[in-house]
Each structure stands twice: as C-alpha cells, then as structure tokens.
C-alpha cells in the first residue's frame, strides 16, 4: 500500500482504496498485467446493468457489450442521446502535446492534482492522464468532428488552470459530439442485441444479496409499473447532484437519487461538500426561473472579466444611468488580471467564482441586481475581428442573445457564478468499485479524480476514461469470480423486499395530499443551499443550514402534494421522489462542509483564508477524503476517512499569481 508520508495525522485504517503497488507511472500497466479476465464464452453468461447513458454510462455500456457481456442499460429520458453530458460546451483535455507547448501525461496529472487543491488520489489521477490520449483517438475513429487546422490536423484551445493548450473541441458543442459518438457506439450494440435499452425508466433501488449488488428495482416512467432486474454486477453512471440547489446549470431531470439509494444500502458518499460553482453563467433574472445557463469557460480565452473601478459607476450602471461601454479602459477593473497576473482570466473556476463574489459583495457588481460582472470581448474583436470570434463562439453568443436579449458582440456579456458540477459523489476504490461488492460507480456520480475542484474540460475526459478504458478492465477483475453464479430469480426475497419498500415509500408520499407543490419545496431547499452551503461557508451558517434543511424535510413529508396516481405516468411523483433524496444530499453537504475546517478548491470556509483572501488548506488535519456511511434513518451518518498520501507530488499552497 501507499506509504505514509508528509505529516498526515489521519487514522485511515478503515478505508482501503486498493491502489496497486509500484511507481506511479507503472501502477495501471501493472494492474492490467495482473488482473483477472473473463474468457469470451463466460462473458456471454454474465449480465451487467448500467444505469445512465451519459458519457460514462453510454461508453461503458457500449464497451462492455463489445467485449461480449450481456448489458442492460437504463435512462430516464426518451433516448440515451439526451443525457446531460450533451450540454458540455468547451472541450475535452488530453495530454497529446500536439502543440509542442510542453504538455505531457505528467503535466496533465500535475495540473489536475493541483487544480483539485491536493484533495484527489494520486494513482487515479495519473491513470486518468494516461488514458486521456486514447479517448481522442477513439472519438476521431467514431466520426466525432473535432475542430481542425487548415492542414487537416486537430486544433486545440486552452482552458483554466493550465498553461498549455490541450483542449480538443467541436465548436461550443463538444459534449454533444462526444456523447453522440458514445451514443452511436451504444446504438450499434443495441442494434446487435448485445445491449437491451430501457428508456424512460428510473432506478429506485439497488438489490443487494449476500453483500453483493445483484440487480435494481426501476420504475417504468410511462406506465408507472415497478419492475425488477437481475445482473451479476451493477454500474451507476447517473451524474452529479448539483440540482440540490434547485437552480443550477444541470438539466431539469438530473438528480442524485441513485447515489442516495446506494448510499442507504451501504455505499459511502464521499466529499459531498465539494461542489463546483462555475464562474461564467448567465445571472439569475426572476422568481419563476427554472434553471441557469452556463456560458462556456472557453470564452475566457478571448473574453476579459471586469467590473467598474469606482463604486459610483457600478451604482450608475445598476440604476440604468450608465452602460458598460460608457466606461473607459482606466475606469475598468480587470480584477482577475490584477490579482492573478500569471493566469489572468484563465484561473481555475473556484478562484474565478470567488473573485466575482468578492467584487459584487464589495458593491462593484453590475446588472439590475448587482450580482453580475462583465465578460468583455471588445479587445479580442479588435485584435482578431468579429468573424474569428463568431467562428469560435458563435453558438454561445447566439444562446446568450436569446436568453438576455442583448448582442454580446456590441456590449459585454453579464455573468455570475452558479452551481455546475459536483466533485463529491459515491466513494470508489482504484477499480471504481464502491464499498458494496459488485457495485461500481463511474463519471460525475463518483468522487474520484477531481479532488476539491475540477478543471475545465476534464469532466468529459473523466466520464469517457471511466467508460471506455478503466471500467471495462476493472469490472472483469470482479466478474472473473462470478462465472459460477447463475442468473438469479427476481422472485428472491431481497428483490421482493426492495420492491415492497419502494411501494411503501410511494404510498406514503401520495397519501400526504398537502398544499405545497414539489417545486415550491425544492426552491426553498435551493435557497438554503445557495445562502449557506454555496460559495462562502462558515460554521454558524452551516449549522443554520442543518436546522433549516430539517425543517424542509419535515415540510416535505407533511405538506407535499402529488396529484395523480402511482400506476400511471406521473411527473410530479418522479420529482417528489428525487426531491426527497435531494434533501438527504443537502444535509450531507452541509454536514461535510461543517466538518471540514479548512478551505480547499470549491469548498471555501470563510474562517480559513489567507490574508489575500485565498483558500487556506490544512493538510495536517484534513488531508483525507471524507466518506459518509449511512447509519439508519434519523441517525447521524458515520464519518470514515481515506487518507490522501502524497507520495509523488509535493503539496503547496496553490498559486496562480506568478
């Protein structure tokens, strides 16, 4: 096991990440060389359930079926192509070094660890960087139309937290193109009968038999029927839990329910407090707003972020008496360039978000709410011409104009941070296996790789790395011992009991017949999360949040109103079931944030900052992944700790200034 080093004082005897021996750069090769495999005739006899069809789920389902496993794949939308990976805009990182600008597997690994504020597992991140190049090759082979140079070779752009250009992209629609690539590979396997697709199905529980995941219970969202499915192994790829905040950049249906279900069956929930607030989103406009829209981080390549230097100007702008374009260069404060000369507008997301909040809190914000900063393209338009900017970001500018009704070619965009991605999630070991045997977790749904903050263009990389190149290996190491296990009957008591518990829960919700709609309670939860568990957190606020979330839980279970019946399509019921789980996640997030008495990455505790207002880590006491273990309804969960031993990298205070 990893040797203990630096001054970690954490007792980590309980959690074993099962990291292979050997030097960092050889761990994954060694693992693959010695892991167990399943021969082709046995693969056909093994069933694998994959829940989710985003980048991680679709790539895993397709790859496992190509290998010969019998795959059952579930999605809540009408088609696998709708998964929210589709909305990722900017790009995908890889260590190709096509630009000859000094990139390497090690540098991608290092940037990711540093970007995550030294709260990720070294071995996992190194593997991620190692397999990154294969992802680009795979996507090109599938016909993903990446942006190219005139010479026919692949183009790159740069992203936050890196000093090299390693991001591959397809206009501002990279997630769409990568997902459609994975979807086409998945569709090919569905056409062959190797994958059975269940669309408009929602997982409601995992079935555990003798300590191993052996299937799921799912609800057919069209008929309302609750159904049982057996498999030798279950893979969860259901994305993050950002919608706990109600308003987020996530899709309306994105939810954390699969994570909560498996947490309650014994899978640890790790680092729930690590949530990413993305700096470049369109500001909130009104009370009936349903979601927030992200403007890609890639815009920070050519856009400069500023607020007025003088408070009077900010006030005049808020009152509608002045416009952004009325202010001269000298009257603008390009605060990121001022504070972080080395990285400027391309500092990591957590840093950029906090800097925007700092300026707005100090009274320099713009827009009618004062909760916005400018993202200005005029310098780049003057330098490169409007056409180049249109070619690079045309679809994003159009999207902005549709929502805000202003032309960003003429007047700066207004942006403000919003919840976007969750680094925390289900704890997995090196093999992506949860603390329940035979239950794996991939993509954003797991906690691995991004530490306390994710770098831009790394979510797509991780989702596809897990699905194409990691899980198809590691799951075999588990399944090799399952070849003697027959397909079990779904009439077994474990299945019946799980289904019965779901019926009981649904009946309980339907019977409340209160006077509050699901959305109105969800909005209340979201406001609590944003006010107390958002960008700036402190002890008193988090304690308040825990009290308030308790009250929301009580309100939900006594006052919610769900119309209609269970045995039919019932969208309000779907939302109610998800909200019940968001409330659990909200509480876990607040609890974790309260426990973690340090600032790191996206987790900023106001009590712990440097004199310059930067995040102040405490490696002495908090160099661990917090793993929360469910201890029964109404009980406080147990905290287990996985020590993060930095064997290969020397930790330092993150510095994007010089």
Partner 1 sequence: MEKNINVTLKIWRQAGPKVKGEFETYKLDNVSTDSSFLEMLDILNEKLIHERKEPIAFDHDCREGICGMCSLYINGHPHGLDGETTTCQLHMRRFHDGQTITIEPWRSAAFPVIKDLMVDRGAFDKIIQAGGYVSVNTGGIPDGNAIPISKLAADEAMDAASCIGCGACAAACKNGSAMLFVAAKVSQLALLPQGKIEAAARAKAMVAKMDELGFGNCTNTQACEAECPKGISISHIARLNREFLSAKFKD
- Whether 166 is catalytic is no
* C-beta of 175 vs 279, nearer to partner 1: 175
Rounded distance between C-alpha atoms, residue 611 and residue 441, angstroms:
39
Question: Nearest approach, Cβ of 165 to partner 1 (angstroms)?
Answer: 15
Joined tokens for residue 53: 């069809």
Q: For residue 28, which of 438, 468, 642, 473 has the smallest C-alpha distance? A: 473
Binding residues for partner 1 restricted to 60-89, rule: CB under 8 A: 62-63, 66, 77-84, 86-87
**Residue 77 contacts residue 200 (beta carbons within 8 Å):** yes
**Residue 244 contacts residue 585 (beta carbons within 8 Å):** yes
> Which phi and psi angles does 607 have, rounded to 5°?
-70, -20
Binding region for partner 1 (CB under 8 A) out of 182-190, 298-306, 379-387, 454-462: 182-190
Binding residues for partner 1 restricted to 573-632, rule: CB under 8 A: none
394 lines the binding site for partner 1 (CB under 8 A): no
Positive/negative CA dihedral, 557, 549, 603, 158: positive
Q: For residue 56, which of 166, 142, 135 has the smallest C-alpha distance? A: 135
Question: Nearest approach, Cβ of 156 to partner 1 (angstroms)?
Answer: 11
469 lines the binding site for partner 1 (CB under 8 A): yes
Question: Nearest approach, Cβ of 56 to partner 1 (angstroms)?
Answer: 13
* 286 to 305: interface string for partner 1, x by CB under 8 A: x-xxxx-xx-----------
Catalytic one among 107, 349, 537, 654? 349
Rounded distance between C-alpha atoms, residue 362 and residue 427, angstroms:
38
Rounded distance between C-alpha atoms, residue 244 and residue 522, angstroms:
8
Rounded distance between C-alpha atoms, residue 85 and residue 592, angstroms:
27
Rounded distance between C-alpha atoms, residue 101 and residue 241, angstroms:
36
Question: Nearest approach, Cβ of 437 to partner 1 (angstroms)?
Answer: 25
Binding residues for partner 1 restricted to 202-241, rule: CB under 8 A: 222
* C-beta of 92 vs 533, nearer to partner 1: 92
Rounded distance between C-alpha atoms, residue 450 and residue 422, angstroms:
9
Rounded distance between C-alpha atoms, residue 629 and residue 636, angstroms:
9
**Residue 422 contacts residue 529 (beta carbons within 8 Å):** no
Q: Which residue has the tokens 């080093």?
A: 5
Choice from 49, 50, 194, 197 touching partner 1 (CB under 8 A): 197
* C-beta of 103 vs 598, nearer to partner 1: 103
* C-beta of 188 vs 553, nearer to partner 1: 188
* C-beta of 82 vs 617, nearer to partner 1: 82
Choice from 342, 567, 571, 595 touching partner 1 (CB under 8 A): 571
Choice from 40, 191, 486, 493 touching partner 1 (CB under 8 A): 191
Question: Nearest approach, Cβ of 131 to partner 1 (angstroms)?
Answer: 10
* 477 to 516: interface string for partner 1, x by CB under 8 A: --------------------------------------x-
Rounded distance between C-alpha atoms, residue 631 and residue 579, angstroms:
21
Question: Nearest approach, Cβ of 70 to partner 1 (angstroms)?
Answer: 17
Choice from 10, 190, 423, 475 touching partner 1 (CB under 8 A): 190
Binding residues for partner 1 restricted to 515-544, rule: CB under 8 A: 515, 517, 519-520
Choice from 403, 540, 551, 595 touching partner 1 (CB under 8 A): 403
Choice from 371, 384, 480, 569 touching partner 1 (CB under 8 A): 569
Q: For residue 240, which of 470, 447, 529, 89 has the smallest C-alpha distance? A: 447
- Helices then strands, each counted (H, E), the chain: 19, 19
Rounded distance between C-alpha atoms, residue 57 and residue 468, angstroms:
10
> Which phi and psi angles does 615 have, rounded to 5°?
-60, 135
* C-beta of 183 vs 556, nearer to partner 1: 183
Question: Nearest approach, Cβ of 146 to partner 1 (angstroms)?
Answer: 7
Binding region for partner 1 (CB under 8 A) out of 395-403, 413-421, 604-612, 623-631: 395-403
* C-beta of 207 vs 560, nearer to partner 1: 560
185 lines the binding site for partner 1 (CB under 8 A): yes
Positive/negative CA dihedral, 648, 616, 250, 404: negative
**Total residues at interface with partner 1 (CB under 8 A):** 82
Q: Indicate the DSSP class of residue 127.
A: H
Rounded distance between C-alpha atoms, residue 31 and residue 22, angstroms:
10
Angle between helical axes of 122-142 and 27-34 (0-180°, round to 10)? 70
* C-beta of 151 vs 486, nearer to partner 1: 151
Binding region for partner 1 (CB under 8 A) out of 176-184, 420-428, 451-459, 499-507: 176-184
Question: Nearest approach, Cβ of 205 to partner 1 (angstroms)?
Answer: 23
Choice from 165, 184, 538, 618 touching partner 1 (CB under 8 A): 184
DSSP for 75-97, please give it: ESSSSGGGSGGGG--S-EE----
How is the beta sheet containing 304-308 ordered, strand by strand? 275-281, 413-422, 373-376, 304-308, 332-333
**Residue 263 contacts residue 446 (beta carbons within 8 Å):** no
* C-beta of 65 vs 452, nearer to partner 1: 65
Question: Nearest approach, Cβ of 255 to partner 1 (angstroms)?
Answer: 11
Choice from 329, 330, 405, 612 touching partner 1 (CB under 8 A): 405
Please list, in sequence order, all residues whose beta carbon lies within 8 angstroms of the beta carbon of residue 259, skipping any fewer than 6 positions away: 236, 238, 241, 269, 425, 426, 441, 445, 581, 585
* C-beta of 113 vs 521, nearer to partner 1: 521
Question: Nearest approach, Cβ of 366 to partner 1 (angstroms)?
Answer: 17
Binding residues for partner 1 restricted to 313-372, rule: CB under 8 A: none
Binding residues for partner 1 restricted to 35-54, rule: CB under 8 A: none
Binding residues for partner 1 restricted to 249-288, rule: CB under 8 A: 251-253, 285-286, 288
Binding residues for partner 1 restricted to 113-172, rule: CB under 8 A: 134, 136-154, 170-171
* 412 to 451: interface string for partner 1, x by CB under 8 A: ----------------------------------------
**Residue 578 contacts residue 242 (beta carbons within 8 Å):** no
Joined tokens for residue 563: 């119309």
Choice from 572, 606, 621, 647 touching partner 1 (CB under 8 A): 572
Question: Nearest approach, Cβ of 277 to partner 1 (angstroms)?
Answer: 18
Binding region for partner 1 (CB under 8 A) out of 174-182, 347-355, 615-623, 625-633: 174-182
State the virtual CA torsion across 123, 128, 130, 135 in degrees, nearest 10.
Answer: 160
* C-beta of 310 vs 523, nearer to partner 1: 523
Instruction: List the beta strands (DSSP E) in 484-558.
Output: none
Angle between helical axes of 174-192 and 55-67 (0-180°, round to 10)? 30
Rounded distance between C-alpha atoms, residue 335 and residue 322, angstroms:
20
Catalytic residues: 349
């Amino acid at each position: 096991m990893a040797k203990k080093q630096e001054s970690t004082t954490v007792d980590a005897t309980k959690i074993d990440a099962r990291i292979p021996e050997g030097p960092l750069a050889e761990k994954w090769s060694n693992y693959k060389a010695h892991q167990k495999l399943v021969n082709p005739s046995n693969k056909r006899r093994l069933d694998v359930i994959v829940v989710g069809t985003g980048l991680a789920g679709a790539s895993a389902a397709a790859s496992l079926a190509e290998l010969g496993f019998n795959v059952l794949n579930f999605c809540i939308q009408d088609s696998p192509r709708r998964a929210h990976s589709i909305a990722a805009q900017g790009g995908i990182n890889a260590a190709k070094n096509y630009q000859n600008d000094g990139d390497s597997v090690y540098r991608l690994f290092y940037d990711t660890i540093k970007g995550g504020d030294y709260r990720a597992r070294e071995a996992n991140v190194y593997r991620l960087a190692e397999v990154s190049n294969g992802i680009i090759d795979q996507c090109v082979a599938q016909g993903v139309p990446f942006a190219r140079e005139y010479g026919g070779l692949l183009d790159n752009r740069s992203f936050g937290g890196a000093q090299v250009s390693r991001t591959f992209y397809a206009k501002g629609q990279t997630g769409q193109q990568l997902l459609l690539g994975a979807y086409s590979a998945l569709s090919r396997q569905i056409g062959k009968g190797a994958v059975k697709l269940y669309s408009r199905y929602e997982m409601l529980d995992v079935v555990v038999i003798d300590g191993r995941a052996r299937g799921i219970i799912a609800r057919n969202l069209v008929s309302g029927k609750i159904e049982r499915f057996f498999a030798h192994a279950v893979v969860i790829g259901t994305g993050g839990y950002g919608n706990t905040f109600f308003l987020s950049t996530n899709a309306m249906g994105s939810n954390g329910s699969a994570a909560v279900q498996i947490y309650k069956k014994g899978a640890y929930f790790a680092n729930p407090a690590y949530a990413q607030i993305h700096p470049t989103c369109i500001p909130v406009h009104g009370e009936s707003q349903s979601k927030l829209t992200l403007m890609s981080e890639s815009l920070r390549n050519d856009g400069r972020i500023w607020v007025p230097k003088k408070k009077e100007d900010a006030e005049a702008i808020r009152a509608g008496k002045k416009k952004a374009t009325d202010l001269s260069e000298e009257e603008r404060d390009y605060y990121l360039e001022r504070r972080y000369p080395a990285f400027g507008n391309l500092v990591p997301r957590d840093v950029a978000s906090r800097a925007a909040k700092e300026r707005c809190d100090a009274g320099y914000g713009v827009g009618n709410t004062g909760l916005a900063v400018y993202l200005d393209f005029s310098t780049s338009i003057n330098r490169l011409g409007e056409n180049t900017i249109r070619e690079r970001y045309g679809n994003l500018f159009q999207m902005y104009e549709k929502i805000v009704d202003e032309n960003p070619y003429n007047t700066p965009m207004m942006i403000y941070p919003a919840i976007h991605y969750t680094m925390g999630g289900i704890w997995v070991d090196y093999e992506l296996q949860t603390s329940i045997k035979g239950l794996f977790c991939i993509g954003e749904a797991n906690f691995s790789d991004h530490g306390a903050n994710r770098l831009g263009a790394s979510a797509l990389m991780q989702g596809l790395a897990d699905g194409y190149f990691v899980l198809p290996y590691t799951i075999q190491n588990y399944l090799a011992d399952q070849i003697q296990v027959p397909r079990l009957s779904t009439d077994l008591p474990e299945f019946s009991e799980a289904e019965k518990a779901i019926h009981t829960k649904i009946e309980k919700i339907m019977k409340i017949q209160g006077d509050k709609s699901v959305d109105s309670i969800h909005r209340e939860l979201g406001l609590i999360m944003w006010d107390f568990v958002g960008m700036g957190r402190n002890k008193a606020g988090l304690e308040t949040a825990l009290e308030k979330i308790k009250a929301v839980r009580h309100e939900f279970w006594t006052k919610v109103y769900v119309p209609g019946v269970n045995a039919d399509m019932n969208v309000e019921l779907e939302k109610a079931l998800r909200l019940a789980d968001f409330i659990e996640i909200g509480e876990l997030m607040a609890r974790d944030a309260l426990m973690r008495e340090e600032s790191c990455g996206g987790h900023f505790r106001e009590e712990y900052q440097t004199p310059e207002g930067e995040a102040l880590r405490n490696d002495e006491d908090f160099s661990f992944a917090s793993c929360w273990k469910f201890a029964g309804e109404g009980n406080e969960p147990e905290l287990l700790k996985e020590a993060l031993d930095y064997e290969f990298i020397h930790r330092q205070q993150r510095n994007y200034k010089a």
